[in-house]
A and B are shown apart, each in its own frame.
Chain A
Amino acid sequence: EPEVTQTPSHQVTQMGQEVILRCVPISNHLYFYWYRQILGQKVEFLVSFYNNEISEKSEIFDDQFSVERPDGSNFTLKIRSTKLEDSAMYFCASSERQPYPMGYGYTFGSGTRLTVV
């Protein structure tokens, strides 16, 4: 069964450093997402991406965050200057088409645990 692959599974970075989280969505999927889960809190939507641009983003997704699909296969989340409160599990997801009915073909990766020290 096709999978969304995220690397690395765990990343430790120093506060103020830039970090890039990588995701390889399912090859025929067209919509891409990032969610995060701070330890002990709910999974939160960050951003959705379609046709090489952001289609929707949450309040969390401020100027410190950016997403890119640089080569047609990878989908990356960049945090420019990490803060302690960015420590979380970050989930990538992709879907084959506009997810209506919602969730159709929505496949999540296993996550990257980011620890900012």
Chain B
Amino acid sequence: AQSVTQLDSHVSVSEGTPVLLRCNYSSSYSPSLFWYVQHPNKGLQLLLKYTSAATLVKGINGFEAEFKKSETSFHLTKPSAHMSDAAEYFCVVSDLLNNAGNMLTFGGGTRLMVKP
């Protein structure tokens, strides 16, 4: 079965400093991995996705994530935080081997706070 663990429920950074949101996954075969962001009163927006191509994935708004199979990790990073990055971030996995490819499994979410 697939599962996702986001190691930090809350992360606080100062504007202009790097962001690191940690994610570890469990999957039986070859997962697809995603990061979604949710701003208050907004839908879940796809930031980036990994689907067995390049292990370093670049997304929107300057975010990127690196797939490390040996560590079963898919941490999200950004070199310099902006106030508008304050939101809830979800790490998500889908394992085609275990389902028809329709189901996403979400991590518990990390709330990113950005201080001026």
Contacts and interface: CB of A to CB of B under 8 A. Distances in A.
Interface of A: 3-4, 9, 31, 33, 35, 41-45, 48, 55-56, 58, 91, 93, 98-104, 106-111
Contacts of A55: 100, 102
Interface stretch (B16-24, B36-44, B72-80): B36-44
A42 B43 contact: no
Interface of B, secondary structure class, is loop
Interface residues of B, number: 27
Contact of A48 (B46, B92, B103, B105): B103
A41 to B, nearest CB: 8
21 contacts: A3-B43, A35-B104, A42-B109, A43-B106, A43-B109, A45-B105, A48-B102, A55-B100, A56-B99, A56-B100, A56-B103, A99-B102, A100-B101, A101-B32, A102-B32, A103-B34, A103-B92, A103-B104, A104-B49, A110-B42, A110-B43
Contacts of A41: 108
Residue of A58, A102, A106, A108 with most chain B CB atoms under a 10 A cut-off:
A102
A102 B104 contact: yes
